[in-house]
Every structure is written in structure tokens, then in C-alpha cells.
Structure 1
Amino acid sequence: MSEVVTKASAAKEAAAVLNRLTTEEKNEALLLMADALIVEQDRILAANEEDLVRGRELGTSSSLLDRLKLTPARLADIADAVKQIVDLPDPVGDVLETIHRPNGLFIEKKRVPLGVIGMIYEARPNVTVDAATLCLKTGNSVVLRGGSAAISSNRSIVSVLREALSRSAIPADALQLIEDSNRSSVDEMLKLNGLLDVIIPRGGASLIQNVVQNATVPVIETGAGICHTYVDDSADYSMAESIALNAKVQRPSVCNSMETLLLHETFARKYLNAIADKFQEAQVELRGSGIARDIVPWMNTVSDEDYATEYNDYILNIKVVKDLDEALNHIHRFGTKHSECIVTETDAHAERFLQEVDAAAVYHNASTRFTDGFEFGFGAEIGISTQKLHARGPMGLPALTSTKYRVVGSGQIRS
């Protein structure tokens, strides 16, 4: 058998054991995993350095290297995130609904694990820990397939976590890493009906579209983030500047960072020069056209292809629009239904934006960078879903469960 089938089969066997464990047993395992990340940090950081060296040799961009890089502080944050998951309520077993039928049947709708989750993602080693711990907390086995850029880091992290699980009630086989970096291993996972219950892709647009278009296993789609901030004519300049800079610069490599800044023409004619200077100081390349370049001639020229690109880098499109309608039309055309923001002091405009923009998260006077499991109070997230079925937005623990109807009778038969 292939590596994919062998490890998925082992994960399925382990899922049957996981389904019987108590919340206390799962939490004890997670605490062992959190401690192991710190105790074995030198081993993990050495492996991460192998990935960074290889990435630099291959010419990987600085923003992608930042996503890949681990430090003692980042590892400490990752371990703390695991402990936060321990503190969160376990959704498994929650009774969502009870029904008493006239014939005496008693029906309960309860949360249950999904089973075996396949996770396909790119060069962010923290996702390895997030996915493993979120899945295990909810009683799911998980088969991880990270990107080749982080293979040394992921191999080391999973080895450390499995060693921790071997001292717990959770079988180590509940956590699997596919080490084959060939595209064929992904293709095989996509067709692994019967062994995988669901696949969650997390990464760039091409990865996600490949999974969505080719999988026969059910998929929870986490979308690319072409996020916009629209600054209305009534916006407070100081607030608009702060929100826009944060949305782009605070961490440009992530999916909830801003890719296009839309400015009402009245606001732009007053303040675009000043805000452009702030972005230039932050070493952000600006791209614009029309009125935007009339006001700031040193901008590079933007194209429709740029508007449809998730940069994850220090690049920002700026478009001047005549009104809210034009901003809404632009977002409708180029947005990916991830996170969108309006900065305005006009309540009616804010309400229109919040009501009409079709996205997982819509903001009024706050940065799109808050679309995050931690910031929403969910703990670590498995991803941010941009689809509408099963889960949408940051996916915490409840999103990794399904439901089961438990029906209790006293001999009833259907006539």
C-alpha cells in the first residue's frame, strides 16, 4: 500500500478509539503535546532552519519565509495556543436539540466527531500544531499533508507530538503526516473516500481550487483572501490611516491582510498623498490608475489581474471610487468572500455595507486582521471558511463536528 493509504488506514483505526475518550483524557494529551513543543524546541528549531536555508537558496520571498520561520517566542505562542484549546469547552456530546414525539419516541440531536480529517496546507508549521490539536480535541483523527517548503519542520513537530501522544490515552496513530512531497500524494488523498471523511485545504488560491475541483471526498473550502478596505467620504482620517496600515502592514503574508484600498474621491483628494507617504515609509509598493495616479504619480500602474491577485506581500492596490455603489461593485467583482471593511461615520452607509457585502466577515471601522480564531474567542482555528455550507468564517472546535440523532423508544413500530 502507498504511504497515504497506510497512514489514513491507521488514522481510521485510531478514530474508533478517540470516539470513546473523555474530555479529560483528550485534554491531558493536549497538555503533554504543549509541554513537548517547549521541551523539544531545539530539535524543532534546527529542523525549521533546514527549511529556511532551503527556502533562501530557492529564492523564496521574504513574506513567505516569515510564514515559515519559527522562533522560541513563536513556539511558545503555539504551545500557549494548545493550552487555550484545552481550556475551551469540548463540543463533542453537546445536545443541540431534544424532541418528544406524540408516539413516545425521545430524540436527541448531539454533536459527534467528523471522523478522519485530511488537512492539505502550505508553508506554515504552526498550522501543523493547530490542525493536530483542534482535530484531536474534537475526537477526530487527522492526516496532515503540508507543503514541501516546511517538510523538515513538519516532520520534527509531528514526531514530537506523536511521542507525547504515546504517553496519553490518545493513540499516536490518530496523528499522521504524509511525508511524500510529490503532487501525487495530494491527488491520492482527494480520492480517499472510505478512509477520509472530509478534506480541509488551507493555502493559496491554486491549492484550494485544485482540491475543490478534483476531490471526491467532501471538502470544507477555506478561501483565498483578496480583502478590501473602503474608506468613505465621511471617514475620520486618523482612524482610516490606522486601520488601512494595520490591515496591510501588520502581517501582509496572511489571508486576512488587505490587498486593495478603495477610497471615496472626496477623501482621496484630501488625504491620498498623506496616506501614500505612510505606505511608502512602510516599504509598501503602491499600484493604482486614473485619479489615484493623478494624485500620486509615482504609483505603479494597476491592472485587473492585480485586483484579482492575493499578494501576501508588501504590495497594495489603491482605487479611487466615486461613491459607495462603485466600491460595492468592485468588491462584488474581485472579492473572495473572506473579509471586507468600511471606514465611515455615516451609519446608513455602514449598514448598507454590512448588509450587502457577501463575505464571511464584514467590518465597520475595524481592521480585517481580526478575522482569526483567537481574536473571535474560538482559540486556534483550522482555517477560515469562505463557503456557506457546514461552516463559515474562522472554524474553531464546533466546526470540526457533525451531528447524530439518538432515538430512544419503548417498542414503537411504524404503521
Structure 2
Amino acid sequence: MAMQPVKVAVVGMGMSTTVFHVPFILSLPDKFKLEAIVERSATAESSKARDKYGPAIKVVNSLEQALALDIDVVWICSINDTHYDFAKQVLLAGKHVVVEKPVTPTSEQAYELAKIAHEKNLVLAVYQNRRWDADYLTLKKLIAEGKLGELSEFTSHFDRYKNVPNAKVWKESPLPGAGATFDLGSHLIDQILDLFGAPKRVTGFVRNSRLLGHLEVPDSFLIHLHYDADASKDGRKLPLIATARGSILSLTTPQQRFIAKGTQGSFVKCGVDVQESQLVAKGADALKDSAFAKDPEELYGKLYTLEKPNEPVTITSETGNYRAWFENVGEALQANDPSRLIVKPEQAALTIRLIELAEQSSREGRTLDL
């Protein structure tokens, strides 16, 4: 017997909602039914949500009003410093919750939410969608196939060039959960945790490199995650340093993405996954495009091997698949089974803890134990 789609209310009508979430929710009618959107400024006469998604969508002004509706899950796409309060309110109301990354501004809050969700057997899903980037899926496959041997160094870049303040003022305002480490760093750290698990130590260099806006809000970061050799645990014989770095003053095209160096080979990849740019450009129509989520050939990575170190092999990128995250969350929600989640809330909490340690390490000028 087919499961009924879960009834969804979404908080927010910004870019996160309209570009990254609702198009996928609507594209999976067997899993989701969009019932309501919380739009604080909406009136009976004027509503962006109603204009965009039609009169069948209920538009309300507050989370309390949404929770009073017949819904199963609340999708929180509001700004970072609201995530904790909103998610806790939803969980205590007995509803499932999906939260944009970063899950919360502090790891204490994130672990508290994970505990509440566990105690109530509710789904707490965090949008760490970049585990389904084309480049990351390609790298993960190469590692799983042993093409690189045992890794000694791993660097994940998310660089760009922007020497003016961000037009989205809240992202560069001194608010909880603001700054580059929470914005882009949360993606890179989550990928590293997915590959290698929790590190032993953290060394961070976090700064406002442009000296623009609020100087205490970082725009760039370099975070070393230290992994010791531990043959008893996972067969690792070599220590590994996995580095997450994001520079906002990187004027290269294409930008570097991954550099992975191992005992059997190295992999170098440039360019950023195209799913975001395609969604921004075409909205929901991007999902119907045959080129969606496919790397252009000029951005394919290079594999250097022991056999022919001077003749790198071009590696065709895997196809990206943000839809897979939504499908997984939908399955967990329909089965009322949080254990089915691929991205665990505890992993999202650990990501925030590592960001906290990286920022503390940078302030204190020392390496910190996890």
C-alpha cells in the first residue's frame, strides 16, 4: 500500500525557500504535500507565497498559526539565529522538523534539539545537501574504490571573489550563526565528517580578510582537522590532515574545489557543483532540464596515479543529486522513522562544535582537542 505524502508547512519566503526547497518539495508529490507557508508580511490582499504558489496554499503570519494547521512537518528556512527557537517549538508541539543549515548557532542548542527529537521519536533533518554535489560524489567514489590509496592530505575549497559587503545584510551582521564558517564552512566540514568521521584536534584561522562591514564577522576561514593514525580503529596507518578553506578574495577561474593526496594517487578538481547556479537561474524549471546537476566536461577532475604520474586521467563527474536528500527525508517522514535519515542530527551538531572550536582556536592561536 502506497504511503500518503506528508503535509508540509514552510517558514520563510526567501531564496532558501523559493530556490532550494519548494521546487523539490513540489517535484515529489508522492512524498510531500505543500500545505502552508509562513510569510510574516503577508496580508489578505498581498502575499508573495500566494502569488507564486497559488491560492490553494495556506498563507499564515506566524509559526504558531502554522502549528495549528493539519500538518506533519515544518520546514524552517528562516535566518540562522531563529533556527533553534523555531525548531524547538515545532518538536515540543509533536511535529517533525526540517532545518536549513547551519542547524543552530551553537552546538549546545543542536545537541539539545537532537535529544528532544530522539526522546519524541521525531525526525530532525538538516539540509546538508552538498553531500550530493557532483564533485563530492565523484571524490567519494574514487576513495571507496581505493584509487587514491590511503589519504595523507585532503583539502576542500569553497572560494570566491567578492570585495564588497554582502547585500544580504543579516549574513554579515554580528548575529548568532553569522559569518563564513557557519555559511560555507558548515558544508565543507559536514563533507569531511562524512568521509573521515570525527577528528582528534582542530586548528583554525578565521578572520575578516577584507576588513569590510562588522570586523568581528569572518568572511574567510582555514580549518585543519587532524586525524591520527589508528590501525586498530579503521586500518588507518597514516595521519591525515583534512582542511576546509573558504577565501572571499580568490580571483581565479575556475576556482579550486578538491585536492586529495594519497599513497596510490592524487585527485584534483576545480569548479563548483552546478546545481545551485542552475536553480538560481531557472528555478523549478531547472529540474526538468536534461543538463541539470551535470558537470560540464571542462570541470571534470584529474586523477594522477603511480603508473603514469605525468599523464593524469580525466574523471567523468558523477551526476549531482540534491533530490536524493529530499527523497531520503521523505522516506523517514512517511515511515515515522528518524533512523532512516542519512544526515543524522548528531552529525549536524558535531559540525557546529567543530566550527566553535575552529573559531576559538583562531582567537587563542592554538590547536584544540575535540
TM-score by length of 1: 0.33
- Greater fraction helix: 1
TM-score by length of 2: 0.36
